[in-house]
Amino acid sequence: MNEKNETSNLIKQAQLDVGRRNFLKITGAGAAAVGMMSAIGIPFAKAQDMSNGANNFYTSDRVTSQKVTFKTQYQMNVAGNLFTPRSLDRNARHPAIIVGHPMGAVKEQSANLYATKMAEQGFVAMSIDLPFWGESEGRSRNLVSPDVYSEAFSAGVDFLGTQPFVDRERIGAIGICGSGSFVISAAKIDPRMKAIATVSMYDMGAANRNALNLSQTVAQRKEIIAAAAQQRYAEFAGGKIQLTGGTVHELNANTHPIQREFYDFYRTPRGEYTPPGATRLTTTHPALTSNVKFMNFYPFNDIETISPRPMLFITGDQAHSREFSEDAYKRAAEPKELVWVLGAGHVDLYDRVDLIPFDKLNAFFDRYLMA
C-alpha cells in the first residue's frame, strides 16, 4: 500500500470512529478545533477566493529572513523564520515579536505574513512552527500537547532575548487562531512577554470541550474521550496512528460552510503548504488520541493576572470564532482592547491584507514595546 492510500485510510478510519456525532455544530473549526471531516463525495469546483488582498505568501524587499532553531525546556528543537528590517542597526537593541500560526497549520501559513509585515514596521519578528508540526521536532507528528505548544513561545523569548540586537525587555507576541490561546497560556507564567495580541483566536480547550456556541453535550464529550482512549490500546500495540479533525480534502453538497471557509485557505493555492516530511493528506489533522488533551486546557483561567501587561484581541465581526475573543476580553484586566474588523470572517484574518488591521497591531506594539 502506498503512502497516499495508507494515510487516506487512516483518516477515513478516524472519521468512522468518532464521526457518528452531531459534529456539524462544531466542525467547523477545520484546522482550528475538533469536528470530523465530512465524508469524501463528489468534489465541487476548487474555488480560490483571492479577494481583499489575500496574500499568504507575501514577501518584502524591505525585510530579510533566515531560518533559525532553538531548544525548549524539553530539549526539543523549534524551527522558526527570523525577519528583520534591511535597515536594522545590529549594533543597537530593538523590540521583537514572536508570531504563532493557526492550530494545525505551520509557520508558512499566516505566521510568516504577520512576521514580515511587523518587520516592515521596524520590529524584529519571528514566526515559529509549534512542536510536532512543520519543521519543529516532536514525535509523533501532529501530536497535540498544549503545554509543549505554550513552552515553545517561552523558548522563543529565550532565543530572542539572547540575540545581541534584541532588547529582552521589549518582547511581545502574536497568536493567530489556536496560537492565541497558547500565547495567553504562556504569558500567564512568563512576564517577559510584555505585550500580547491575538487574531481570530480559538480557545482550543473550550472548542474541544463544548464546541462552538456550547453546542456539544457532556455525553458527546465523553464519547470522544472514550474513543480516543480505546485507540490508545491499538496504537500502543503497534497499530497505525489515527488522525482526526482538520480540513476536508474535497467539498460535497453536505460540506459545512465553516469547513468551506477553511478549505479555501488550506486546500487551494491561496494558502496550501505541505512541509517536509508531511503529505497533503496529513496537513491540518491532529492525532486522534492526543487531541483530547485539549479537554484539560483552560487558557483563560487567571488571564487577569497578565495585567498590567497589555492585551489586544482582534476578531472579525462575522467570524464564527468571535465568542472566544469576547470571552477572553471579558475576563482580562486592563489594559485591554477588543477590535472588531467589519465584514471579516475567521479565516479572512489569516491572509487578507486589505482586512487585517496591521496599522492597529503596529500602533499597539509601537506604544508598548517601542517606548
pLDDT tens per residue across span 52-84: 999 999 999 999 999 999 999 999 999 999 999
Question: Does residue 297 carry a pLDDT above 50?
Answer: yes
Arithmetic mean of pLDDT, 294-311: 98
Contacts of 212 (CB under 8 A, 6+ apart): 25, 26, 28, 29, 33, 320, 321, 323
Q: What is the pLDDT of residue 370?
A: 86
Q: What is the pLDDT of residues 100-125, one digit of tens each?
A: 999 999 999 999 999 999 999 999 99
Arithmetic mean of pLDDT, 225-245: 97
Q: What is the pLDDT of residues 253-284, one digit of tens each?
A: 999 999 999 999 999 999 999 999 999 999 99
**Secondary-structure breakdown of the chain: helix, strand, coil percentages, each rounded to the nearest 5:** 35, 15, 45
| pTM greater than 0.85 | yes
The span from the CA of 72 to the CA of 300, in Å, is: 23
Q: What percent of the chain is modeled with pLDDT above 70?
A: 87
More confident residue, 11 or 191: 191
On whether the CB atoms of residues 301 and 157 are closer than 8 A, the answer is no
Question: Does residue 23 carry a pLDDT above 60?
Answer: no
Nearest of 98, 159, 109 to residue 133 by alpha carbon = 109
The span from the CA of 127 to the CA of 107, in Å, is: 6
Q: Return the sign of the alpha-carbon dihedral for residues 264, 269, 271, 272.
A: positive
On whether the CB atoms of residues 312 and 197 are closer than 8 A, the answer is yes
Q: Which triple of cell numbers denotes residue 251?
A: 467539498
User: What SS3 state is found at 341?
Assistant: strand
Question: Does residue 29 carry a pLDDT above 90?
Answer: no
Question: Does residue 96 carry a pLDDT above 50?
Answer: yes
Question: Does residue 32 carry a pLDDT above 50?
Answer: no
The span from the CA of 92 to the CA of 153, in Å, is: 24
The span from the CA of 348 to the CA of 350, in Å, is: 5
Q: What is the pLDDT of residue 26?
A: 37
